[in-house]
Amino acid sequence: MLGGTCLCPLPTAQSADLLEWIHSLVVVCRRCQLSQSRRNAVPGEGNPNASLLLVGEAPGAAEDSQGRPFVGAAGQLLTTLLAEIGVKRTDVFITNVVKCRPPGNRDPQEDEIAACNDYLLGQIGCIRPKVIATLGRHAMHTLVSPDLSISRVHGKHFFQQGIFFIPIFHPAFALHDESRRGLLRDDMRALKRLLNETQAEPKQTQTEKE
């Protein structure tokens, strides 16, 4: 179970084509009130065959302006932290639980998360990553368990539906506090260890799963 919802079976096709189809649905989505205030929906981007999927909470102002995930200050920090553990941003896929910016950068609401859930599960279903890193508590609550506390489980991994999940602090958590960056770097090192452990395992395709 992923956040209490099963992954839906997807039609057999190339991952890139499926992701492009989901992208086309997201950019015109009107499922919730965020569509009224956004400038651009932010479907996500990256390698359609990525072994690592990064899932954040929601777009910010820079993301809303550009229609791309993690391009603001938090995104720049994320790119730096990934590079420190030898991971290129172009090799991963990055998205958010909520695809449109909440006004004033407030926390996403439950109905907004629910409105985007099919898109997120569809992305997971066609990428079939080995590892999903949830960035922040909302992504963790949606994909791992609503009963977990990120302050207690960050850097630890969970295995469900054939995927390893590792909750880590959101980069925004450490933007203005150097001591928090140490915690975030610890999380990233834990992510690197998990990636190394899963590297030898072949990635299963949708057909192999079935």
Residue 119 resides in a domain? yes
Residue 2 resides in a domain? no
Structure tokens at 202: 């072949």
| Digit-coded pLDDT (tens) for 80-109 | 999 999 999 999 999 999 999 999 999 999
Residue 206 resides in a domain? no
Mean per-residue pLDDT over the chain, rounded:
91
CA distances from 134 to 20, 140, 145, 156 (A): 22, 5, 11, 11
- pTM for the full predicted model: 0.89
pLDDT at 132: 99
Residue 36 resides in a domain? yes
Residue 117 resides in a domain? yes
CA distances from 150 to 134, 156, 163, 182, 201 (A): 10, 10, 19, 16, 28
| Digit-coded pLDDT (tens) for 16-50 | 888 999 999 999 999 999 999 999 999 999 999 99
In CATH, what number is assigned to the domain containing residue 145? 3.40.470.10
Hey, how many other C-beta atoms are within 10 angstroms of the C-beta on 124? 21
pLDDT at 177: 87
Q: Does residue 144 register a pLDDT over 70?
A: yes
Give the chain's domain count: 1
Q: Does residue 4 register a pLDDT over 70?
A: no
pLDDT at 179: 87
| 3-class SS shares of the chain: helix, strand, coil, % to 5 | 45, 15, 40
Q: Does residue 13 register a pLDDT over 60?
A: no
Q: Which domain holds residue 28?
A: 15-196
| Digit-coded pLDDT (tens) for 105-140 | 999 999 999 999 999 999 999 999 999 999 999 999
DSSP structure class, residue 9: P
Report the distance separating Cα 140 and Cα 134, nearest Å: 5
- What mean pLDDT comes out for the span 173-191? 93
Strands (E), 57-187: 93-96, 131-135, 158-160, 163-168
Residue 4 resides in a domain? no
Q: Quick one: residue 42, left, alpha or beta (phi over 0 = left, psi -120 to 50 = alpha)?
A: beta
Residue 9 resides in a domain? no
